Homo-oligomer: A and B are copies of this chain.
Amino acid sequence: MENAKSALKSIKNLREDLPLEEIEVVLHQEAIDIALSNGEYSNLVLDLMTRDIGFAVCYNSMKARDLKSTDLIDGIKIVDAGVGEIIKLQKDGWAYLKL
């Protein structure tokens, strides 16, 4: 991830360009900071969630940084492995975009 703020802006642009598409943002490694309820991006994430954009956080990455589900913004999904989630979604026909 180049930069959290520009990535979140790109996701907002994607929603505006594709208003009817299901969108899920999968966060892993250091990018899971974006999902922290007391983090600097929480307002941007909450805004995207109101636009029907889902967020999934990698549990492996949470363990590696000693984070608990209560540290995350309410309503964010936890998946066993972010990398596995991305593969599974493609196998289900989803397109993929790396930011």
Contacts and interface: CB of A to CB of B under 8 A. Distances in A.
A76 interface: no
A10 B83 contact: yes
A14 B18 CA distance: 29
B21 A87 contact: yes
A66 interface: no
A17 B96 CA distance: 19
A91 B16 CA distance: 17
A3 to B, nearest CB: 9
Interface of A: 1-2, 6, 10-11, 13-14, 16-18, 21, 28-29, 58, 60, 80-84, 86-88, 90-91, 95-99
